[in-house]
Amino acid sequence: MDRLAKTICVVDIHKLQDFAQRFVVGAILDEVFADKEATGQRQPLQVILLDELNKYAPREGQSPIRETLVDIAQRGRSLGIILIGAQQTASRVAQEVVENASIRVTGRLDAAEAERSEYGWMLPSTRARARLFKPGTMVLFQPGIPAPLVFTFPFPPWATRKEEAVEDDDPFEGLS
């Protein structure tokens, strides 16, 4: 991949089997990490977004790319690699990865998960509120803001699913 092209590259792996998904993610991470270490250049930044982070960096059990992700979490920012990991329960992700996250965003939590140490950055009152969050409500923490910030994503003004769409008459019908 030409990383200097200033483009966004999305690698869709959802149709691959688990082993193949880990292989593709591992190959991309190794390539990005090796390139950044070889050049020593922070720019251009490389942003990697991984959903279901616990699959690649589990707290318990093995993953062939766990150590690579731990290394990126610990040293990636200084090399210009930004790792964004998404996971419903932070307690299932390798502790070294969670501890090295500078920005944390949490949605609705169940009572047991809210009491875990991974959410120690939240005030007790915010943890209690997080148990009652409606879809789209989140808590954001980042070092530049002295207290966690609660926010809500607005409901999108357009259809996000086919069944939500209304088929109207063609507004251009009859125009030539």
Report the 10 Å Cβ neighbour count for 163: 5
pTM, entire model: 0.71
pLDDT in tens, 134-166: 988 989 888 888 888 898 988 777 777 888 777
**Is the peptide bond prior to 44 cis by the omega test (within 30 degrees of 0)?**
yes
pLDDT in tens, 25-59: 999 999 888 888 898 888 888 888 888 888 888 98
Q: Where are the domains of the chain?
A: 1-101, 103-152
Question: Any idea which architecture 1-101 has in CATH?
Answer: 3-Layer(aba) Sandwich (3.40)
Alpha carbon distances (Å) from 82 to 8, 51, 65, 121, 135: 14, 14, 17, 21, 26
Give residue 90's Cα distance to chain centre: 11
